[in-house]
Structure 1
Amino acid sequence: MVFNKAALLSALSLAAAVQAAPAASVGLPCDLYASGNTPCVAAHSTTRSLYSAYNGPLYSVVRASDSHTTNIGVLSTGGVANAATQDSFCAGTTCKIKVIYDQSGRGNHLSLAPPGGAAGADVLADAAAAPITVSGHKVYGVYIAPGMGYRNDQTNGVATGNQAEGMYAVLDGSHYNDQCCFDYGNAETSNTDTGNTHMEAIYFGDNTYWGSGAGPGPWVMADLENGLFSGYNAKQNTGDPTISSRFVTAIVKGDSSNLWALKSGNAQSGGLTTGYSGQRPAGYYPMNKEGAIILGIGGDNSNSAQGTFYEGVMTSGYPSDATENAVQANIVAARYQA
């Protein structure tokens, strides 16, 4: 055997480089949050699994022709939604999204929002109104028009009082309005406005009644009840950018200390932008979160807004920036396409 010094040195150099390289984050969003010691307590998506081991239903649909329902699962464990099941079941009629299942195992499923202090009963979303692809496969989002909304007032493990939490959502950056309020997150259990500090939810839209970000909007802001906030100032935070991407990652998180943060990013490429990180607005500390989960509506069932939801989670604890960066990288890797 001929000794080749150059080849040996090359091999040793490669081995050293591999050993020195940081390990890539492995897993889907809720795997990553668990690794960061801020586990998901709610995980909702109509497009894909949010745990690498998840093989259950993502959502259910009810068809107009006979009111029968069926569950829409995944193509494989940890994979994307099996939209063909919906297409077959709903052929020749129409379907609505009845339940969006919680993948965390805590039973925090989302179903039709009941009447609240601001509006009467909502209606279900059209199951076929938001077709896209994820990882090259056809899937459907949750297309919320005014009057539609989902909720769970009896949750398990969701932050209450001044407990820390985080949340993200992947949304359609082109579907919004200036009405109140297209939210996803923590809200009142009574479906009524019980005062400042009783909500902590992602808001997306271009409402300027309470405040705004830079430019014309839309913006990712936080609904903390009786106010949509882009930062400490109740009016404008020029650090919170206008969203121009077709798919947007939106993040809100609040610690048990007087600290909260707001982030956004293009769900198809790149990283996250921190729109705000710092002290809570005046009158919003300590928090009095109640632990209900809402989608597409405000805490008192204000239901005049619109938007499209694809996936989102809520966590126990205040996620680190490193964890959120890994989640954003996974979202980008999922290849959302219109």
Structure 2
Amino acid sequence: MPISRNLAPGIVAALLPLAAAGPCDIYGSNGTPCVAAHSTTRALFFNYNSPLYTVQRVDGTYKDILPVSAGGVADSAAQDEFCIDTGCWISAIYDQSGNGNDLTRAPPGGAAEGPEQDGYDALADATAAKVTLGGSTVYGVYVSPGIGYRNDETTNIPTGNAAQGIYAVLDGSRYNGECCFDYGNAETNDLDNGNGHMQALYFGLGTTGGHGSGDGPWVMADLENGVFAGADPGEVSSNPTANSRFVTGVVKGMPNYWEILVGDATSGDLSTGWAGVRPNGYEPLEQEGAIILGIGGDNSNWAEGTFYEGVITDGFPSDEVDQMVQADIVAAGYSV
């Protein structure tokens, strides 16, 4: 059964959504602040009004894309005007938390180099994941094989076996079974450093450490050398296929305990896919604190998926707080 953990003293009595809040305001007010927050679709703090991401044109010029107003959706009109009649790529995704944990193209790693001449991964096409949010056009980050983002020199990201939460909003119709469409905590040297050196949210059809029920795709955890739907190496019947058009996934852990939560990002609550111990050989974790998007910890860059927004928290959010964040995501209004 899901349980509430790691709430600061007195927080339980104050478990109420703020009158005007984004996901990171909700997490912060309940004792588990965002230490990284990334989105190309909207601000994740109510008062955030700085660049969300940067687009790069074929001619090498750049433009920062901001929210249309503080706390609002991305100014896609500015991107459209800048990118008209030319190719554009997402060259940076900015950390809204204030920790400077921005994501740029991933360097070569132990598993693979990227397709660029310097071995780095490619950048995502800035127009390949067009959707609407609250009725306004926005663009997600479509990752195809060879594309990846990373930051190996982060600030305040949990390390060792420290408690951590992750959520992401993803496209439930774009995925594959290759390694690894991840968002979360990974190695700082771009190598496979062994079991437990990662704790990232994975989405796809991978089965290296087990899988969920049905045909997939599934929200799981990449803990290095395996993606896991729970503690069992086979099917975890409680972890459902997550094929709604927009998927909310949560992976969070603390010593001797972790959870997966899954939901439709356009309606309803999150359900518990797993709540219990970690797989054999993965306790304690040895998280290193790099951040990856669209790749595995050693730059395994053969996956496919689309990312719209996500955060990493310092501490283990309660299920009640994650449900409040899910309600905020639903209210934001993702649509095709």
TM-score, length of structure 2 as denominator length: 0.93
Q: Does 1:41 align with 2:39?
A: no
1:241-297 deviation digits (Å, cap 9, x = unpaired) = 001210000100011x20000111000000001100111111111110000000000
In structure 2, stretches of 5+ residues that fail to align are 1-14, 114-119
User: Which residue of structure 2 lines up, in the alignment, with residue 177 of structure 1?
Assistant: 176
CA distance in 2, matches of 1:252, 1:50: 18
Q: Does 1:109 align with 2:107?
A: no
In structure 2, the residue matched to 1:306 is 304
Match for 1:37: what amino acid?
A: G
Residue in 2 aligned with 1:286?
284
- For residues 137-183 of structure 1, the C-alpha deviation after alignment (integer angstroms, 9 at most, x for no partner) is 00000000000000000000000001111010000000000100000
2:23 to 29, 32, 35: 29
- 8 Å CA contact 1:25–1:326 kept in 2: the answer is no
Among 331, 334, 338, the alignment partner of 2:332 is 334
Query: 1:25 Cα shift?
Result: 4.3
* Deviant stretches of 4+, over 4 Å: 22-25
Within 5 A, what are the aligned runs for 1:157-172? 157-172=156-171
C-alpha distance in 2, partners of 1:28/1:234? Answer: 36
| Offset at residue 24 of structure 1 (A) | 4.6
Question: Which AA in structure 1 matches 2:168?
Answer: A
The SS at the match of 1:281 is coil
Cα RMSD, aligned residues only: 0.9
* SS of match in other structure, 1:324: helix
Name the CA shift for 1:23/1:317 in 2 (closer, same or farther; >3 Å).
closer
Partner of 1:83: 76
Q: Does 1:259 align with 2:252?
A: no
Distance 1:25 1:57 in 2: 24
Partner of 2:5: none
Is the contact made by 2:17 and 2:26 (CA closer than 8 Å) also made in structure 1? Answer: no
In structure 2, distance between residues paired with 1:165 and 1:209: 23
Q: Which amino acid aligns with 2:70?
A: T
Is the aligned partner of 1:59 residue 2:58?
A: no
Question: Which residue does the alignment assign to 1:3?
Answer: none
Q: Which residue of 1 aligns with 2:293?
A: 295
CA apart distance, 1:208: 2.1
Equivalent residue letter for 2:39: S
Secondary structure of 2:267's match?
Answer: coil
Contact kept, 8 Å, 2:210 with 2:230, in 1: the verdict is no
Larger radius of gyration: 1
Between the aligned partners of 2:196 and 2:121, the Cα distance in structure 1 is: 25
- Supply the distance in 1 between the matched residues of 2:62 and 2:18 (Cα, whole angstroms): 37
| Distance in 2 separating the partners of 1:104 and 1:210 | 32
* Structure 2 Cα separation of the partners of residues 294 and 236 of structure 1: 26
Structure 1 equivalent of residue 234 of structure 2: 235
**CA contact 1:61–1:99 (8 Å) conserved in 2:** yes
The answer to whether the 8 A contact 1:99-1:111 is kept is yes
Give yes or no for the alignment of 1:268 onto 2:266: yes
SS in 2 for 1:56: coil
Q: What's 1:126 paired with? A: 125
**TM-score scaled to structure 1, two decimals?**
0.92
Q: In the aligned structure 2, how far is the partner of 1:276 from the partner of 1:330?
A: 23
> Quick one: distance in 2 between partners of 1:166 and 1:24?
18
Q: Secondary structure at the match of 1:270?
A: strand
Cα distance, 1:40 vs structure 2 = 0.1
Residues 1:91 and 1:24: Cα distance change in structure 2 (over 3 Å): same
Retained in 2: the 8 A contact 1:162–1:286?
yes
The one-letter amino acid of 1:281's match is P
What SS does structure 2 have at the residue aligned with 1:298?
coil
1:238 shift after superposition:
0.8
Amino acid at match of 1:209: T
Residue matched to 1:17: none
Amino acid at match of 1:59: Y
Q: Which residue of 2 aligns with 1:12?
A: none
Correspondences of 1:135-146 after superposition (within 5 Å): 135-146=134-145
SS of 1:283's equivalent? coil
Shift in CA distance, 211/132, structure 1 to aligned 2, threshold 3 Å: same
Q: Which residue of 1 aligns with 2:62?
A: 69
